[in-house]
Amino acid sequence: MSDVGEKRTPLYDEHVKLGAKIIPFGGWLMPVQYSSIMEEHEAVRNSLGVFDISHMGELLASGPRASEWLNTMLTNDIAKLEVGSGQYTLLLDENAGIIDDLIAYQIENEKFLLVVNASRIEVDFAWLQSHLDDGVQLENQSERYAGLAIQGPRVGELFRALFGPSPKMPERNQIARFELDGMKLWVARTGYTGEEGIEVFFAAEDAPKVWNEVLEKGESLGIRPCGLGSRDTLRLEMCYPLNGSDLSPEHNPLEAGLGFFVDLTKPKFSGRQKLREEKEAGLSRRLIAFRMKGKGPPPRPHYRAFRNGSDAGEVTSGTLSPSLHYGIGMAYLTTPTPKPGEEIEIEIRGQKFPAVIEKKPLYKKP
């Protein structure tokens, strides 16, 4: 495995100590699994898992005009935020192609934290920098921050074990500052698994200490360190899109099914005009969720999808669902508008296998 040019998070040595299998991902050397993707997946669904998300980027936008400016850069309405809250939003180019999907948190009156995808840090920063307004400062703080996602039904118990009985865990999409042994942490009630969970951001140099304390305090709760493998199966069961697979500058948020996070009534943001035209003309393709029928190989990215025997699009995500025990995936299908229940086929190594379009999410908590 070549380490050249691939970055390590401040937890790299901890992953190696735990016997993780390391793979390159978005320019980083990351753990894909420690023991088994299936077991790590189950741990998050049934008790608790912790993921190193230090590779993700942290951009800070501040200043008296930060809110107004961000509202012209991002698709969601940032004016709906108040201090201590966050929202899922998208950064688009002029053609409404997706540069990145991210969470924007308002952490002070005139200060916003943008948590962006690892492989897009430089691209996002360069784009935002080139569109910067007077009265706004933009900083790339990605190197200074480490982060953990702690996900699973027992997260409340772990939160109390870490921070004591009195502080309240933030509500969904809220973010607040907490202290752990003198270390300062941002704790957000967000995640990428469909389970209750928090994402925690803190100084890079504190990373091994926070990581080990989380594992220690979580031990009696059944916590497992989890890699990118289970992160992918968990998010795909929920139909959360993955940047670089389901989202790219070739796709716009409406066809990706993310219209809820795009406020077309805002007077101005990058890609707005193009999206209004698309909406007027009707979308030419849509990201759908499907499951395989019967036994067969699991779907994978780049397999072709067929409707009535004709090529109708490309699978962008696919796996065997550890919770559902059948193959699941997402694919962009061309018009006519695909509907849940419609039977399609996925071509795998030259052979077509039956599948059916499903409502999102594919997995619902029992």
Partner 1 sequence: MNVPDDLLYTASHEWVRREDNKIRVGITDHAQAELTDVIYVELPKTGTSYDAGSTIAVVESVKAASDIYAPAKGTVLEVNESLETNPALINTDPYGEGWIYVLEVENSDQLHELKDAAAYRASLS
Binding site for partner 1 (CB under 8 A): 21, 32-33, 35-38, 229, 232-233, 295-298, 300, 319-320, 322, 349
CA distance 278 to 274: 6
What CA–CA distance (Å, rounded) separates 5 from 146?
19
Q: What's the min distance (Å) between Cβ of 180 and partner 1?
A: 33
Q: Is the CB of 119 or the CB of 334 nearer to partner 1? A: 119
Give the whole-angstrom CA distance, residue 91 versus residue 102. 8
Looking at the Cβ atoms of 278 and 345, the one nearer to partner 1 is 345
* 178, 25 contact by CB (below 8 A): no
What is the SS3 assignment for 226-282?
Answer: ECHHHHHHHHHHCCCCCECCCECCCCCCCCCCCHHHCCCCCCCCCCHHHHHHHHHHC
Q: Which residue, 152 or 322, is less far from partner 1 as judged by CB?
A: 322
Minimum distance between the CB of residue 297 and partner 1, rounded to whole angstroms? Answer: 5
**In the complex, minimum distance from the CB of residue 35 to partner 1, in angstroms, rounded to a whole number:** 8
What are the residue ranges of helices labelled H in the chain?
12-17, 37-46, 66-73, 121-130, 155-163, 207-218, 228-237, 272-281
**C-alpha–C-alpha distance, residues 228 and 243, integer Å:** 14
Judged by beta carbon, residue 17 or residue 80, the one nearer partner 1 is 17
Shortest Cβ 298–partner 1 spacing (Å):
6
**Looking at beta carbons only, is 167 or 297 nearer to partner 1?**
297
The CB-of-38 to partner 1 minimum distance in angstroms stands at 5
